[in-house]
Chain A
Amino acid sequence: MLPLSYALRNLYRDPARLLQTILGSALVVLMIMGAAAINQGMRETLDASGAADNVILLGAGSEESVLRSEVNERAAGIAQAAMPGIVEVAGRRAISPEIQQLTYVSVGNAKNRRALVRGVTPDALLVHTRVSLVEGRFPRPGEVMAGRLSWRKLGIPRQALRVGEPVQVEGVPMILSGLFAAPSTVMESEWWMDLNDLRTQAKRNNLSSVILRMRDDGFADADLFTKQRLDLELSALRESDYYARLADFYAPLRSMTWLTALLIAAGAFLGGLNTLYAAFASRIREIATLQTIGFRPWALALSLVEESMLACLCGAILAAFAAMLWLDGLAVSFSIGTFILRLTPEVAFMGLGTGMALGLIGAIPPALRCLLPPLPTALRAAS
Chain B
Amino acid sequence: MTTSHDYPLIRCKGLTKHYRKGRQTVTPLSALDLDVPRGEFLALMGPSGSGKTTLLNLIAGIDRPSEGILEFDRHEIGGLSRGRLARWRAAHVGYIFQLYHLIPVLTAFENVEIPLLLSGLSRRERRERVENALALVGLADRMHHVPSELSGGQEQRVAIARALVTDPPLLVADEPTGDLDRESAASVLALLQQFSAEFGKTIVMVTHDPRCADAAERTLHLEKGKLLEAEEAL
Interface residues of A (CB under 8 A from B): 1-3, 6, 9-10, 12-13, 285-286, 289-297, 374-376, 379, 383
Contact = CB atoms under 8 A, between A and B. Distances in A.
Contact of A295 (B57, B86, B106): B86
B19 to A, nearest CB: 9
Interface in B74-110: 82-83, 86-87, 89-91, 95, 97, 99, 101, 103-106
Contact of B103 (A1, A6, A294, A375): A6
Main secondary structure of the interface of B (DSSP, over half): helix
B115 interface: yes
A13 to B, nearest CB: 6
Contact of B115 (A291, A294, A374): A294
B62 A294 contact: no
A366 B101 CA distance: 21
A296 B86 CA distance: 6
A289 B104 CA distance: 12
Contacts of B115: 293-294
Main secondary structure of the interface of A (DSSP, over half): helix
Interface residues on B, range: 20 to 34
Nearest to B162: A293
A290 B113 CA distance: 12
17 contacts: A2-B114, A6-B106, A12-B105, A286-B103, A290-B103, A290-B114, A291-B86, A292-B89, A292-B95, A293-B90, A293-B162, A294-B90, A295-B90, A295-B118, A296-B83, A375-B57, A376-B54
B150 interface: no
Interface string B61-78: 011000000000000000
Interface in B46-66: 53-54, 57, 60, 62-63
A290 B102 CA distance: 10
Interface of B: 53-54, 57, 60, 62-63, 82-83, 86-87, 89-91, 95, 97, 99, 101, 103-106, 114-115, 117-118, 162
Given A294-B87, A294-B89, A289 B105 contact: no
A294 B86 contact: yes
Nearest to A7: B105
B83 to A, nearest CB: 6
A172 B166 CA distance: 91
A12 B105 CA distance: 9
B127 to A, nearest CB: 14
Contacts of B87: 294, 296
A297 B87 CA distance: 11
10 closest Cβ pairs, A-B complex: A294-B90, A9-B105, A289-B101, A375-B62, A294-B89, A376-B57, A293-B115, A294-B118, A376-B63, A292-B95
A1, A12, A379 interface centre (most CB from chain B within 10 Å): A379
A293 B89 contact: yes
Given A292-B95, A294-B91, 10 more contacts: A6-B105, A9-B106, A13-B104, A289-B97, A293-B90, A293-B162, A294-B90, A295-B90, A295-B118, A297-B86
